[in-house]
């Protein structure tokens, strides 16, 4: 007779050494690294029914990664299967699913388990899922990603529209597009890709722009079959190529986005200005010209955007939106733009980080309380008062135009050292000291003032509502050095139940 699976017995608390939240790029990486270190007593809780995170959630037309495909992979697992220089979304998702199976991650993951809350008590994290399960773990690792909670704009009448309306990250594939009048709201990296992906499918395409963007050419190109053939058979060639792209990116972007990088920024500005001149109509070109300095926001890369905006079926709308009505969008000049489909390419709640998970640390402190005066973390990874809780892609992670996978790998190397300290019994729990965390964050904000993103009038999701930078302000080399090894004196370490300061 089959034994009942203890995992499915209600009211029973499961115990694990480590719980990872999220089976996206970062969560998978943590799991692989733990396995490689011989640590297998862990579980991944994933809210959705499959792995892949961002690349599972985003399925919009035109989806690609604007980091070259041979670079946008784990360093130990190259991806020969890129049809273009910039791999398409489905190719990237297929890559992650291949890695997921290859590294046997299915045995560790439980799908459809959305973490609702986690409370630290008596040297353990007590995790509750939305389905009501309880799991206890010594270590809790958040790998929930940064850009996954859609930002629905507060445009009046959003719920009145009778046609199809959805966010870019929740694409409704049942909504017909062929021959339809479609609106895209937003002009970030996502909107630009969607415009290129939609332009040849629809009857009319209107892009509602609040802020014009600097757009660099991507120099995308399709890849022939023969290099893939070679890389499949000789994986070291794919690793070599990954490393060359890594070196190239380090050379171009690794120096960071400091205001002193005048040559770097002027070169890119000239390329973007030249690219903008491919727009023939002077009025359209004027309206597509940003009114903020180059480098204020994340670079947008696209070969097709300006071409798409010059198609006869495309229109740029720059009159502000008054509201949404049953049949379309009313702009402030009184015009009603009648449409069939509205796509909200309006970005993400990028400042939420681990939330809405209700995390409660020592002495009942919540994440909302700890972050009441703005986001901060110790070296992007840990928080004072939240022992044995670690984050991949936490606040002030380097994001920019760099490969997030590379960043996650650096963070995992550091994280593993903390985890091994606990697993080896050298600490029952550890958390960064508040003084070390505050000193680190004060220095970050000082450096932030020197970045292009914090220039006069700059606005983007890199900056929080208090005007503080939330991403890494220095070079990638500085981040790499930071992630080399923990400074143990910055931690409060407790051995068994008594705390010792080191």
- Rounded distance, CA 439 to CA 434, Å? 8
**Residue whose CB is nearest to ligand NAP in the complex, by number:** 188
- Minimum CB separation from ligand NAP for residue 157, in Å? 12
The smaller minimum CB distance to ligand NAP, of residues 143 and 321, is found at 321
The smaller minimum CB distance to ligand NAP, of residues 193 and 397, is found at 193
- Chain-centre distance of CA 110, in angstroms? 22
The smaller minimum CB distance to ligand NAP, of residues 100 and 348, is found at 348
282-312 burial, b if ≥16 CB within 10 A, otherwise e? eebbeebebebebbbbbbbbbbbbbebbbee
By CB under 6 A, name the binding residues for ligand NAP: 65-67, 147, 153, 155, 185-191, 193, 210-211, 298, 321, 345-348, 461
The smaller minimum CB distance to ligand NAP, of residues 187 and 380, is found at 187
The smaller minimum CB distance to ligand NAP, of residues 148 and 376, is found at 148
Cα angle: 46, vertex 50, 54; to 5 degrees? 80
* Residue 85: Cβ within 10 Å count: 18
Helices 25-36 and 89-102 pack at an angle, to 10 degrees, of 20
- Minimum CB separation from ligand NAP for residue 346, in Å? 4
Closest C-alpha to 316, from 226, 179, 210: 210
- Minimum CB separation from ligand NAP for residue 461, in Å? 5
The smaller minimum CB distance to ligand NAP, of residues 96 and 348, is found at 348
- Minimum CB separation from ligand NAP for residue 25, in Å? 12
- Rounded distance, CA 218 to CA 68, Å? 10
The smaller minimum CB distance to ligand NAP, of residues 52 and 186, is found at 186
- Minimum CB separation from ligand NAP for residue 169, in Å? 8
Strand-strand pairing, 328-331 and 336-338? antiparallel
Strand-strand pairing, 134-142 and 164-167? unpaired
- Minimum CB separation from ligand NAP for residue 334, in Å? 18
The smaller minimum CB distance to ligand NAP, of residues 324 and 418, is found at 324
Helices (H), 3-144: 25-36, 54-57, 89-102
Tokens at residue 185, please?
């709201």
The smaller minimum CB distance to ligand NAP, of residues 118 and 342, is found at 342
Strand partners, 314: 205
- Minimum CB separation from ligand NAP for residue 101, in Å? 24
List CB contacts of 274: < 8 A, sequence separation 6 or more. none
- Minimum CB separation from ligand NAP for residue 259, in Å? 20
- In the Cβ-directed half-sphere of 26, how many Cα atoms lie within 13 Å? 27
- Minimum CB separation from ligand NAP for residue 263, in Å? 24
What are 150-154's contacts with CB under 8 Å, separation 24+?
A: 150/344, 150/346, 150/348, 150/349, 151/346, 151/347, 151/348, 151/349, 151/350, 152/344, 152/346, 153/185, 153/344, 153/346
């Amino acid at each position: 007779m089959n034994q009942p699976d203890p995992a499915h017995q209600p009211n029973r608390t499961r115990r694990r050494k480590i719980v990872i939240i999220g089976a996206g790029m970062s969560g998978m990486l943590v799991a692989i690294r733990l396995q490689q270190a011989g640590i297998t007593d862990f579980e991944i809780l994933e809210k959705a029914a499959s792995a892949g995170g961002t690349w599972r959630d985003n399925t919009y037309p035109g989806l690609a990664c604007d980091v070259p495909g041979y670079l946008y992979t784990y360093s130990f697992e190259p991806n020969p299967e890129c049809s273009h220089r910039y791999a398409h979304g489905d190719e990237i998702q297929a890559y992650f699913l291949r890695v997921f199976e290859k590294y046997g991650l299915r045995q560790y993951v439980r799908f459809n388990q959305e973490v609702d809350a986690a409370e630290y008590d008596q040297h353990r994290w007590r995790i509750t899922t939305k389905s009501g399960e309880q799991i206890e773990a010594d270590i809790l690792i958040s790998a929930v990603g940064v850009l996954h909670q859609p930002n629905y704009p507060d445009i009046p009448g959003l719920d009145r529209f009778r046609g199809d309306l959805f966010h870019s990250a929740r694409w409704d594939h049942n909504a017909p597009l062929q021959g339809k009048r479609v609106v895209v709201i937003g002009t970030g990296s996502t909107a630009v890709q969607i415009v290129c992906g939609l332009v040849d499918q629809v009857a009319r395409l209107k892009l509602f722009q609040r802020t014009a963007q600097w757009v660099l050419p991507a120099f995308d190109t399709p890849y022939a079959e023969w290099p893939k053939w070679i890389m499949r058979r000789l994986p070291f060639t794919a690793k070599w190529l990954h490393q060359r792209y890594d070196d190239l990116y380090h050379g171009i972007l690794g120096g960071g986005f400091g205001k002193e990088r005048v040559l770097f920024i002027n070169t890119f500005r000239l390329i973007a200005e030249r690219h903008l001149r491919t727009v023939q109509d002077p009025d359209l070109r004027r309206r597509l010209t940003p009114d903020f300095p180059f480098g204020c926001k994340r670079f947008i890369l696209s070969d097709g955007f300006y071409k798409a905006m010059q198609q006869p079926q495309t229109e740029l709308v720059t009159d502000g939106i008054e509201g949404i009505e049953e049949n379309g969008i009313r702009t402030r000049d009184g015009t009603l733009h009648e449409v069939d489909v509205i796509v909200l390419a309006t970005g993400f709640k990028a400042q939420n980080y681990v939330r809405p998970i209700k995390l409660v640390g020592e002495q009942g402190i919540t994440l909302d309380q700890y972050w009441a005066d703005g986001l901060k973390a110790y070296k992007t990874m840990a928080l004072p008062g939240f022992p044995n809780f670690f984050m991949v892609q936490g606040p002030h992670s380097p994001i920019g135009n760099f490969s997030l996978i590379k960043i996650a790998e650096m963070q995992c190397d550091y994280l593993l050292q903390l985890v091994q300290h606990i697993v080896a019994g050298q600490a029952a729990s550890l958390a960064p000291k508040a003084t070390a965390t505050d000193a680190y964050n004060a220095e970050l904000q000082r450096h932030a003032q020197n970045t292009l993103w914090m220039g006069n009038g700059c606005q983007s999701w890199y900056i929080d509502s208090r005007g503080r930078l939330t991403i890494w302000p220095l070079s990638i080399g500085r981040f790499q050095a930071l992630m080399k090894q923990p400074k143990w004196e910055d931690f409060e370490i407790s051995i068994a139940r008594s705390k010792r300061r080191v």
